[in-house]
């Protein structure tokens, strides 16, 4: 069953992102004084009176919407208008109704959309010499009925807004949708993360542009693959820290820094990461840095090589050569599966979901005590340091506790050999393994 959706539309800087964060009770959208900060349709679940619906933030409309980026934003707004169950048409109460507001109103009416007018920053009306009665009369001319006065910043009357929105939803909302696992797409700017997100979602879910850093807020979408509900998360491209603007007064740099932090948070809260690399560009130390981030977060991992359509005259030897190149770049990720895809042509993109389901199973694979005991007995190690016992302490991520006999410390090479043998005998592809060793006590 489709979850009811409520989309926020309006001019730039009327407080849509602040309002979404207030209603969802979390920082889902980046808030900034820079016009046009929001570009994609940022989604967040909202729980109200025990029921659930989805809030959708959209980019703001400006007087001049020329250019590729602005046209993509307009496309996202049009999708929100046509696909949502209810629109919250947000106005700046301190500024009143503007010519752009009237243009947006005409567009909403042309689609026959169900809408409520929300006068945000209502605490600024008197301070700017206005009155609620005058503003109300002006808003009524837009043809949407009585406006709702709120202050997203303080939260004033936000409960009344939720009640009003809830009353207009089909089925009055529904229970939260639970997914089996979450899959976060990470990579440098312009490797095709948003194109991949749209291909997996089967729709133009996020803005795609040749301009770097198009995605700012992590974008979530739920898909069902072979009966498995999966949350897919697109993130902002992550550059080297030294290249992220953090100088005093650099607001755009600050936005990028916040975007990167949100990407890192998305990784920490997800189950599996897709590290996306561009086959048409040379891999750099930043790719290695991102791989290290995933390794440190102890998440499931799939290495995905994108833009495979750009490689001409491919043969089996071509795949092998590129796979070896990837393995040399990430020698510490030999356990991660590698996929070659094209987000643009959608070639083998569903292999990502198929592999993700398999990796999720591997993340939760639990070895029994009998299996651990049999492994310890049969594992060949140096005679001076036999495995006395092995315990599978936890899954997702996997932690094993091993006790070795002998008098000497256990070298890293032996630990690596044990982990590799665990992977050979049991299917842990894409799942990190931490083998903790009880070192033999030296006799004094």
> Could you tell me the CATH number of the domain that includes residue 384?
3.30.300.20
> Could you tell me the CATH number of the domain that includes residue 82?
3.40.50.300
Burial class (CB in 10 A: 0-12, 13-18, 19+), 174: middle
Residue ending a domain, choose from 336, 363, 390: 363
Q: Please check whether residues 278 and 396 belong to one and the same domain.
A: no
| Assigned domain for 23 exists | yes
Let me know: does 329 contact 350? Beta carbons within 8 Å.
no
pLDDT of 71 reads 80
Q: Please check whether residues 286 and 406 belong to one and the same domain.
A: no
pLDDT of 440 reads 56
* Closest listed residue to residue 41, CA positions, set 24, 20, 26: 20
pLDDT of 213 reads 42
Q: Please check whether residues 246 and 388 belong to one and the same domain.
A: no
Let me know: does 9 contact 76? Beta carbons within 8 Å.
no
**Whole-prediction pTM value?**
0.64
Q: Please check whether residues 139 and 193 belong to one and the same domain.
A: no
| Assigned domain for 444 exists | no
| Assigned domain for 265 exists | yes
Gap between the Cα atoms of 56 and 43, Å rounded: 5
Percent of the chain beyond pLDDT 90? Answer: 44
What secondary structure, in 3-state letters, does the chain show? CCCCEEEEEEECCCCHHHHHHHHHCCCCCCCCCCCCCCCCCEEEEEEECCEEEEEEECCCECCCCCCHHHHHHHHHHHHHHHHCCEEEEEEECCCCCCHHHHHHHHHHHHCCCCEEEEEECHHHCCCCCCCHHHHHHHHHCCCCCCCEECECCCCECHHHHHHHHHHCCHHHCECCCCCCEEEEEECCCCCCHHHHHHHHHCCCCCCCCCCCCCCCCCEEEEEEECCEEEEEEECCCCCCHHHCCCCCCCHHHHHHHHHHHHHHHHHHHCCEEEEEEECCCCCCHHHHHHHHHHHHHCCEEEEEEECHHHCCCCCHHHHHHHHHHHHHHCHHHCCCCEEECECCCCECCHHHHHHHHHHHHHHCCCCCHHHHHHHHHHCCCCCCCCEEEEEEEECCCEEEEEEECCCCCCCHHHHHHHHHHHHHHCCCCCCCEEEEEECCCCCC
Q: Please check whether residues 242 and 352 belong to one and the same domain.
A: yes
Residue ending a domain, choose from 138, 172, 206: 172
| Assigned domain for 385 exists | yes
Q: Which residues contact 81 (CB under 8 A, 6 or more apart)?
A: 7, 9, 87, 107, 108, 111, 113
Q: Please check whether residues 193 and 131 belong to one and the same domain.
A: no
| Assigned domain for 443 exists | no
Q: Please check whether residues 239 and 165 belong to one and the same domain.
A: no
CA 368, 372, 378, 382: dihedral to nearest 10 degrees?
170
* Closest listed residue to residue 43, CA positions, set 285, 233, 297: 233
Q: Please check whether residues 136 and 20 belong to one and the same domain.
A: yes
Gap between the Cα atoms of 157 and 300, Å rounded: 43
Residue ending a domain, choose from 363, 391, 410: 363
User: Among positive and negative, which fits the CA dihedral 224, 259, 27, 64?
Assistant: negative
pLDDT of 82 reads 87
Low-confidence ranges of the chain (pLDDT < 50): 1, 28-39, 204-216, 243-249, 251-255
Distances (CA, A) of 112 to 87, 106, 256: 11, 10, 37
Q: Please check whether residues 70 and 143 belong to one and the same domain.
A: yes
pLDDT of 33 reads 42
pLDDT tens for 365-413 read 999 999 999 999 999 988 888 899 999 999 999 999 999 987 778 899 9
pLDDT tens for 74-103 read 887 888 888 889 999 999 988 889 999 998
Q: Please check whether residues 238 and 94 belong to one and the same domain.
A: no
Gap between the Cα atoms of 406 and 391, Å rounded: 19
* Closest listed residue to residue 29, CA positions, set 407, 37, 247: 37
> Domain total for the chain?
3
Q: Please check whether residues 273 and 311 belong to one and the same domain.
A: yes
pLDDT tens for 424-437 read 999 999 999 999 99
Q: Which domain holds residue 202?
A: 181-363
Q: Please check whether residues 297 and 390 belong to one and the same domain.
A: no
């Amino acid at each position: 069953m489709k979850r009811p959706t409520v989309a926020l539309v309006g001019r730039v800087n009327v407080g849509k992102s602040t309002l979404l964060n207030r209603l969802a009770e979390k920082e889902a959208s980046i808030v900034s004084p820079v016009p046009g900060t929001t570009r994609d349709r940022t989604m967040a679940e909202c729980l109200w009176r025990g029921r659930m619906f989805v809030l959708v933030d959209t980019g703001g409309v400006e007087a001049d919407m020329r250019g590729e980026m602005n046209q993509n934003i307009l496309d996202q707004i049009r999708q929100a208008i046509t696909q949502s169950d209810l629109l919250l048409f947000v106005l700046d109460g301190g500024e009143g109704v503007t010519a752009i507001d009237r243009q947006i109103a005409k567009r909403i009416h042309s689609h026959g959309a169900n809408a409520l007018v929300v006068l945000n920053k209502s605490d600024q009306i008197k301070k700017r010499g206005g009155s609620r009665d005058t503003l109300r009369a002006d808003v009524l001319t837009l043809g949407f009925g009585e406006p709702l006065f709120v202050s997203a910043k303080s939260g004033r009357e936000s409960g009344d807004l939720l009640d009003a929105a809830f009353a207009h939803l089909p089925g009055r909302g529904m229970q939260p949708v639970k997914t089996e696992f979450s899959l976060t797409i990470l990579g440098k700017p312009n490797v095709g993360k948003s194109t991949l997100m749209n291909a997996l979602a089967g729709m133009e879910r996020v803005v795609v542009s040749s301009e770097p850093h198009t995605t700012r807020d992590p974008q979530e979408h739920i898909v069902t693959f072979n009966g498995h509900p999966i949350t897919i998360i697109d993130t902002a491209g992550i550059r080297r820290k030294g290249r992220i603007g953090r100088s005093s007064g650099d607001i755009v740099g600050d936005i990028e820094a916040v975007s990167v932090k949100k990407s890192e948070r998305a990784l920490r809260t997800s189950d599996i990461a897709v590290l996306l690399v561009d086959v048409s560009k040379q891999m750099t130390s930043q790719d290695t840095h991102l791989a290290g981030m995933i390794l440190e977060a102890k998440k499931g991992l799939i290495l995905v090589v994108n833009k495979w359509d750009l490689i001409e005259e491919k043969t089996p030897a071509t795949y092998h050569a590129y796979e070896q190149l990837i393995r040399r770049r990430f020698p510490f990720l030999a356990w991660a599966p590698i996929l070659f895809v094209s987000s643009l042509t959608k070639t083998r993109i569903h292999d990502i979901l198929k592999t993700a389901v398999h990796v999720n199973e591997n993340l939760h694979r639990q070895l029994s005590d009998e299996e651990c005991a049999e492994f310890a007995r049969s594992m060949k190690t140096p005679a001076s340091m036999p495995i006395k016992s092995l315990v599978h302490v936890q899954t997702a991520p996997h932690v094993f506790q091993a006790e070795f006999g002998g008098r000497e410390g256990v070298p890293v090479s032996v630990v690596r050999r044990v982990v590799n043998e665990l992977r050979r005998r049991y299917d842990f592809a894409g799942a990190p393994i931490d083998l903790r060793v009880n070192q033999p006590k030296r006799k004094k």
